[in-house]
Amino acid sequence: MNISELFIRRPIMTTLVMVGILIFGLIGYQQLPVSDLPNVDYPTLQVTANLPGASPETMAASVATPLEQQFSSIAGLSSMNSTSSLGTTQLTLQFDLNRDIDGAAQDVQSAISKGAKQLPTNMPNPPSYRKVNPADQPVLYISLNSSILPLSTVDKYAETLLAQRLSMVDGVAQVQVFGSQKYAVRIQLDPESLSVKGIGIDEVADAIANGNVNLPTGTLYGQQQNSTIQANGQLNDAASYRSLNVAYQNGAPVQLGELGQVLDSVENDKIASWYFPVKKESKGAQEKSSIQNPKSKIQNSGVRAIVLAIQRQPGTNTVQVVDAIKKLLPTFRTQIPAAVNMDILYDRSQSIRESVDDVQFTLLLTIALVVLVIFLFLRNISATVIPSLAVPLSIVATFGVMVLLGFSLDNLSLMALTLSVGFVVDDAVVMLENIVRHMEMGESRMEAALNGSKEIGFTILSMTISLVAVFIPILFMEGILGRLFREFAVTISVAILVSGVISLSLTPMLCSRFLSPPHHEQESEGAGKQGDRGAGEQMSMEEILNSQSPDPNPLLPEEAPPSPAPSLQSRIKNFNRRLYNFSENIFNVILGGYDWSLKKSLKYHRTTMVISGAILVATVYLFIIVPKGFVPNADVGQITATTQASEDISFDEMVKHQQAVAAIAYRDPNVDSINSSVGAGGPNASANAGRILIELKPRHERHLNADEVVQELRPKLSVVPGIKVFLQNPPAINVGGQQTKAQYQFTLQTPNIQELYQYAPALEEKLRSLSDLQDVNSDLQIKNPQVKVDINRDQASALGLTANQIETALSNAYGTRQVSTIYAPDSQYQVIMGVEPKYQQNANALDLLSVRAPSGQLVPLNAVATLSKDVGPLTINHKGQLASVTFSFNLKPGVSLGNVTGKIEELARQTLPPTISTGFQGSAQAFQSSIQGLGLLLLVAILVIYIVLGILYENFIHPLTILSSLPSAGFGAILTLLLFQVDLNIYAFVGIILLVGIVKKNGIMMVDFAIIARQNGKTPYEAIYEACLVRFRPIMMTTMAALMGTLPIALGLGAGADTRRPLGLAVVGGLVFSQFLTLYLTPVFYTYMESWQTKLKKRSWRKQPI
């Protein structure tokens, strides 16, 4: 049966099918979304609950714990973390990857409603939740600032205009506001004035709540018309509140303005955000400043601003989302005052565009290199063009399938296509070479195409199916890695399958009509013997030029009549002849050397097998000692810096420290712009923490990659006293929903919180002593200064006071309590009450606070309570429902994650009691689970290939022979990684799996030819010897094509290339080493297997009954 015969005899059908495939792929390419990585939609929800003024202990006990108890029963919940700080609890719920996020959201809402009765009654709002994707960073940062208008006015435009409108853009998931300065009326009372006037602070709160109302007042229904009743119960600004009557003394009103200050202020005056503008000299500044107000000036110091961080929805096109937002910015510019400046701080689409463009360039370069390899081996344009057509057709067709499967044009899918270039041409080359061999034997184009395709069709089918089989185990990988590399595996498998179809259809059809005759049929000299020569004896450039001549019977140059001066065409012919003869002589020398060495290896077969065994042992040893990593960091043009000061630092001091750090970072020549924020809320868990987003200049404008910039900045920023700076290049894959100061996490858990607080600092000190780690820190903050109010309940009861009244008075004074709401047409604004800032600076001011007793007596706080100083936690963290402490750390340059996980676990065993459980989280946890499964994955890949080959050959022995060269490929790959000091990470391991499919192609070509030779009566030695020589040229061609297809990735050129480079190095190293050894190990192994198979057959025959 000849699969290709139908396509050979029906060229129009074949052509139209290929045109249809091409159109299908081109249409698909236009519809493919562009992203940095495949869509990994973490089903994650974040729940936030606020109780202004509540201590971390109160938030953890009365808010976090009841909610955790409700959430723990939700189906599919994989992890639950909570952080309770001053007045805020934030819970992160991460679900199984197969859990529907909308269904999970409904369950969370039900749990919140069910647990509402257990929460404090004085919470201003019920807990809220939102969908988040911890694996996805904001795609765009926009800042708004003004040197004229107050920030509360700027915030109004940011939150009510921009944020709401941007949230409606197709593909936008949410818009976060950093440094929010939403308008509020802030009432700052003077306790001394309250005491002199004889007014309790609770009375002031009641007066404000009763004096600012916005109630329905009804309608007058007249005989002829109706009128609505509108009362002026609403107070809209600070001036209105100042004249509010709080009480009467001696018949005269006491107005609110007499008791302290009433200010037009903001909801939270303890958070702030700044930005350092894009530098003038940056080439990327022109586009980013295109929407700026013309009056905006680039400054050398930070500018106070409101910053919008825009996140995209999972699965959407990042570039399209950013472009859609940018189209709206000029419209926004016309809708906000000219005094408000608008700037783009960070544009994620730029790095994605650069990375995708670089990968696309790598893809084109790879195609060019592969075509060049084919031409150098064949030296014939028609013979080069025919197999080369398989490359664009296979890749373009894959685009159409990617659209149907919902894939994106990202780094992994493009890398899969780049790698496939070296493979998709292999089948066509093998088909072409066999057809040429038949033409050398005197057959016509049609006969050679029919006979050659029939002879080699099964080999191509075996090569294609077995190569695709390598990726089957990747399709069944679980977790995040499975989600990421599934798209990679499917993309490259589709390209290989399409190339197999093209090689069995288009390639033989084109050969039957357009393939030029072999070179030695037209030349009497220089071609050598026909014999079993490969595809190299095809038509040279000389015959191509002659074929284009109008003369139907062109003469060879040496037969041409004498000419007084050789023409240009003749000179080109002579040059091509010399080039052909030169290259052919070189190939014959190489082939002769291989012939001699092959005979030696077959003669000393025992030595060859010993070498094979030694390589196997060495491969296992190298796999054990090679440093192992997870996913290499990518350079996306951004660095994050987390700052942390002492737990008792004031807001003003924190601002000074933060600005000093940001200014130093801004002066670095690699830095383009900076966004800095401080204060609890948003990305900062506590008031002593800050976040700095450092945008780097475009990659072509700096000499250092992001990791190197981090190392350069670290000593510069460490000189700022009183603050610690933790730098990290955001990981390419962010596993887990917990935000920490470094990339890797290690968590302690126990029901005994005091035991946890006792042992955690000791382990942190030991972790700091590990020379492989840097930026070691923890979320344990238990030295926050506190003022303890010890209520004398007996004395309070005697005066008619309750603990509730006393704590309410404290909350009114120091809890930034919302006592009323202003309902405006565009939004709602808070009325916040507290004591003046000068009374919040020390504990002595608490003695001035008084509470009204039922008897009408004003009771000072110090009459019913005593004050003392203490320390307590600034934040309390839970994992699951247990108290937890999480250590985070970064690795020093050159240190792999696999080398430190065991050391950390050993330190934990030595330091902690057995009642404290430990475990890695996030990327470190994913690394541990992946390492345990990758070895099994490789074995499964080999087993799948063995099964596929066994089915195809209906033989148990031949697949073993074909796979005998795998250890040499693994040895070469791991040795290359060690030489280049690169970890054996996920990308490199995928490269090794890829090698399994590549290297076995050589064995298939040898064994397939040897099987046919054996059927013709030749001995195993003769069969494999002839197979090695005949298949030497196609083996070299296919290997060089695969090598050239991977070399650009191994060189690591362009944006994001550092991530892809380990895969390229593994494949190139494995190919180079295995190519040399396969040519010797496979034939020796074949002779052993054939001898063993013959002995088994003889024994089986002897045991048969007579």
Domain that holds residue 198: 191-218+232-258+784-848+857-872
144 falls within a domain: no
3-state secondary structure 889-914: EEECCCCCHHHHHHHHHHHHHHHCCC
- The average pLDDT across 194-222 equals 89
Reported as a pLDDT band with limits 50, 70 and 90, residue 527 is: very low
Asked if 717 and 790 sit in the same domain, the reply is no
Kindly write down the DSSP assignment for every residue of 1036-1105, as one continuous string.
HHHHHHHHHHHHHHHHT-STTHHHHHHHHHHHHHHHHHHHHHHHHHHHHHHHHHHHHHHHHHHHHHHHS-
Residues 1020 and 973 in one domain: yes
| CA end-to-end distance (rounded Å), the chain | 38
Residue 765 lies in a domain: no
Whether residue 207 is predicted with pLDDT greater than 90 in this model: the reply is: yes
| Residue 336 tokens, joined | 């906000």
Is the pLDDT at 279 greater than 90? The verdict is no
| CATH code for position 707 | 3.30.70.1430
pLDDT per position as a tens digit, 832-872:
999 998 888 877 778 788 888 888 888 888 889 988 888 88
Residues 641 and 718 in one domain: yes
Q: Do 797 and 820 lie in a common domain?
A: yes
Q: How confident is the model at residue 517 (pLDDT cuts 50, 70, 90)?
A: low
Give per-residue pLDDT as tens, 9-22: 999 999 999 999 99
In a domain, 405, yes or no: yes
- How many whole angstroms from its chain centre is CA 667? 29
- Tell me the average pLDDT of the chain: 83
Residue linked to tokens 């596929």 = 948
Tell me the C-alpha distance between 627 and 618, whole Å: 16
Percent of the chain with pLDDT over 90: 28
Name the percent of the chain lying above pLDDT 70: 89
More confident call, 1085 vs 522: 1085
Does residue 337 surpass a pLDDT of 80?
A: yes
Residue 99 in any domain: the answer is: yes
Side-chain half-sphere exposure of 377, counting CA atoms within 13 A:
26
Question: 500 and 609: one domain?
Answer: no
Helices (H), 792-921: 793-798, 803-814, 897-911
Look at the chain and count its residues: 1106
410 neighbors 356 (Cβ within 8 angstroms): yes
pLDDT (0 to 100) of residue 560: 45
The answer to whether residue 746 is domain-embedded is no
* Domain-ending residue, one of 482, 497, 518: 518
Helix H or strand E segment including 687: none
Q: Which phi-psi region, left, alpha or beta, contains residue 894 (left: φ > 0; alpha: ψ -120 to 50)? A: left
Tens digits of per-residue pLDDT, 287-315?
454 444 443 444 446 789 999 999 887 66
pLDDT of residue 49: 92
| Residue 393 structure tokens | 């057709």
Residue 538 pLDDT class (50, 70, 90 cuts): very low
List the CATH number of the domain containing 430: 1.20.1640.10
**889 assigned to some structural domain:** no
Give φ, ψ of 695 to 5 degrees: -90, 130
Question: Same domain for 619 and 661?
Answer: no
Residue 552, classed as helix, strand or coil, is coil
Evaluated on CA atoms 396, 397, 400, 404, the torsion sign reads: negative
User: How many C-beta atoms lie closer than 10 Å to residue 582's C-beta?
Assistant: 10
- With respect to residue 494, please indicate whether it lies within any of the assigned structural domains: yes
Has residue 737 got a pLDDT over 60? Answer: no
Residues 1053 and 993 in one domain: yes
- Residue 328 has phi, psi (to 5 degrees) of -80, -20
Mean pLDDT is lowest, of 512-516, 546-550, 671-675, 701-705, for: 546-550
Q: Tokens 């006037």 correspond to what residue?
A: 197
Query: Partners of 889 in the beta sheet?
Result: 744
1040 in the same domain as 979: yes
Range with lowest mean pLDDT among 41-55, 294-308, 803-817, 929-943? 294-308
What is the distance of C-alpha 862 from the center of its chain?
A: 57
pLDDT greater than 70 at residue 454: yes
Asked if 1006 and 966 sit in the same domain, the reply is yes
Distance CA 1003, CA 146 (A): 71
Lookup result for tokens 């054990």: 624
pLDDT score recorded for residue 682: 61
Question: Is 162 within the bounds of a domain?
Answer: no
Q: 626 and 680: one domain?
A: no
> Region 1031-1035: what's the mean pLDDT?
84
Closest alpha carbon to 916 in 949, 936, 886: 886
Give the C-alpha separation, 638 to 649, whole Å.
28
Which helix (H) or strand (E) element contains residue 391?
helix 390-404
487, 518, 549 - which closes a domain: 518
Average of per-residue pLDDT across 1002-1009: 85
Q: How many domains does the chain have?
A: 5
| Contact between 999 and 1093 (Cβ < 8 Å) | no
From residue 750, how far is each of 91, 736, 755 by CA, in Å?
Answer: 18, 21, 8
d(CA 486, CA 370): 26
pLDDT at 336 over 80: yes
Token duo for residue 738: 């917990």
Residue 118 and residue 237 in one domain: no
Average pLDDT over residues 194-205: 89
- Across 556-570, 572-586, 820-834, the highest mean pLDDT is recorded for 820-834
Domain endpoint, select from 132, 163, 182: 132
The residues, ordered by sequence, that sit 6+ positions from 326 with a Cβ below 8 Å of its Cβ are 291, 344
The enclosing domain of 868 has a CATH number of 3.30.2090.10
**Cα separation, 1008 vs 952, whole angstroms:** 11
- Tally Cβ neighbours within 10 Å of residue 476: 11
Q: What is the pLDDT of residue 773?
A: 92
Residues 64, 91 contacting (CB under 8 angstroms): yes
Q: Specify whether the CB–CB gap between 27 and 311 falls below 8 A.
A: no
367-420 pLDDT tens trace: 888 888 878 777 777 778 888 888 889 999 999 999 998 888 887 888 888 888
Most confident of 177-186, 985-994, 1015-1024: 177-186
Whether residues 671 and 801 fall in one domain = no
Distance, CA of 500 to CA of 390 (rounded, Å): 9
